[in-house]
Amino acid sequence: MPELPEVETTLRGIAPHLVGQLVTGVVIRQPALRWPVPEDLDVLLENSSLKRISRRAKYLLLHFDRGTLLIHLGMSGSLRILPSGMPHGKHDHVDIIFAHTLLRFHDPRRFGAVLWADANPLQHPLLRSLGPEPLCDQFNAEYLYSKAKQRYGPVKNLIMNSRVVVGVGNIYANEALFAAGIHPARSGNRISRKRYGRLVECIKQTLTSAIEQGGTTLQDFQQVDGKPGYFTQELCVYGRTNKPCPVCGLPIRQKQIGQRSTFYCNKCQR
């Protein structure tokens, strides 16, 4: 399930193969993704060259001559670099065909999106009101503390709210809160500035480490070359219900917070 590290891993995997290349064709086999894939994608992209690829939150931005292709991997989406002419399989919904290679969007659960933005893509409705990137300087203790003061509710929901900070999904929210020793259900407005400083550092560290490991593979995530992500081996709490806490040995607990499975150590996290 792609979170920020998986999207960043994907970006780094595909960019060297595609930047500077010319699009020769587009195939849409299944347009019914989260939003309909634009029917005229072929007209928009053909004979256009890919200038660069960037990332905003969990969106990939493929910058072309005439606009930007936005790709979101949703829950189960992935991008693969393949030789042109490679036969497609089930759930291979969109192909962007380049002169020398093929970019294939695969997404069994179809929560992902392939969209077009012609003007400034950062002003696209889906990107416009996003909070800061977690790895930038703007995301710091003072910022998070100020956001927390304004609201009531579990701190886990706060850090998973994309208006507050982007890219922290369920896996890394659980892991960062464990690393920071903060109980996920603790109300965000009852945490000190100092502890927010620690949480910010833990979020940055967790994400950075996961990017270095090529992301986390739970069921279906693969890097562009087909390898799994190796951060899975470093998960302390996520998916480890009733297994011993790596610090104190007590069983990891699981409960629902904000409709999401939450994993924590009741002793180490307060």
**243 part of the interface to DNA, by CB under 7 A:** no
Please report the DSSP string for 144-163 in residue order.
Answer: HHHHHHT--SBHHHHHH-TT
**12 part of the interface to DNA, by CB under 7 A:** no
Structure tokens at 188: 């965000």
* Helices H / strands E in the chain, number of each: 7, 10
**258 part of the interface to DNA, by CB under 7 A:** yes
Min dist. Cβ of residue 110 to DNA (A): 4
Closer to DNA by Cβ: residue 138 or 261 = 261
Q: Which stretch binds DNA (CB under 7 A): 36-44, 72-80, 134-142, 195-203?
A: 72-80
Closer to DNA by Cβ: residue 108 or 246 = 108
Residue 58's nearest CA partner among 120, 107, 127, 124 is 127
The dihedral through the CA atoms of 178, 183, 188, 193 has a sign that is: negative
**242 part of the interface to DNA, by CB under 7 A:** no
CA torsion, points 16, 19, 24, 25, in degrees to nearest 10?
A: 80
Per-residue contact flags (x/-) with DNA for residues 172 to 211, judged by CB under 7 A: ----------------------------------------
Rounded Cα distance, 172 and 191, in Å: 19
Are 134 and 167 in contact, with CB atoms under 8 Å apart? yes
Q: Which of 12, 34, 63, 204 binds DNA (CB under 7 A)?
A: 34
Q: Which of 10, 157, 217, 223 binds DNA (CB under 7 A)?
A: 157
Q: Which of 12, 88, 110, 198 binds DNA (CB under 7 A)?
A: 110
Structure tokens at 242: 């009733």
Closer to DNA by Cβ: residue 47 or 261 = 261
**79 part of the interface to DNA, by CB under 7 A:** no
Min dist. Cβ of residue 131 to DNA (A): 10
**90 part of the interface to DNA, by CB under 7 A:** yes
Catalytic residues: 2-3, 58, 260
Min dist. Cβ of residue 215 to DNA (A): 12
Q: Which of 75, 82, 122, 141 binds DNA (CB under 7 A)?
A: 75
Residue 5's nearest CA partner among 199, 234, 213 is 213
* C-alpha distances out from residue 164 to 112, 135, 158, 268, Å: 22, 13, 7, 26
Q: How many CB atoms lie within 10 A of CB 139?
A: 20
**Residue 264: its H or E element:** strand 260-264
Task: Tell me how many residues contact DNA (CB under 7 A).
Answer: 33
Binding site for DNA (CB under 7 A): 1-3, 32, 34, 57-58, 72, 74-76, 90-91, 108-111, 126, 150-153, 157, 162, 167, 169-171, 219, 258-261
